[in-house]
Structure 1
Amino acid sequence: MSSAQYQRTIGATQNDTLDAIAYRVYANRSVEMLPKLIESNISYSPFAVLPAQALITLPNDNAAAAAPTIKLWD
């Protein structure tokens, strides 16, 4: 089974927001990943502040898999 078949989730903390979760999980790519995070959790998009313990689905971050490798030796 490949890792692409698994859905990653995270539990929201008190006073959490989707953009705060995007920043914690994706760091410098949070601006790029926020629309995907909202799309993956459309039922929570009307909320400015998420309910505590809301289960948030994290979209796949394909940039990590597509990162170029560096060959140290020939």
Structure 2
Amino acid sequence: MQKFQEKLNRSLMVCQDRYESAKLQQKGGAMNDMVACADDAIQDSIKMLPLLANKLKSSFGIKDNGSF
């Protein structure tokens, strides 16, 4: 779980860094780009949740009943 959180945090930090750079360069649409970047990072993390859930179930010895 910690690795999952760290990966999401790093991805969001990259988005924030890109936003700050775009602001310094006075590029238009910087906020929209940051929102899109954050959305992509979040969507990628959501895709990993079933795998994470399976790993947690396995580590706790919970049998998978086929649903998540």
TM-score by length of 1: 0.29
Give the greater-gyration-radius structure (CA). Answer: 2
Indicate the structure with greater helix content.
2
Indicate the structure with greater strand content.
1
TM-score by length of 2: 0.30
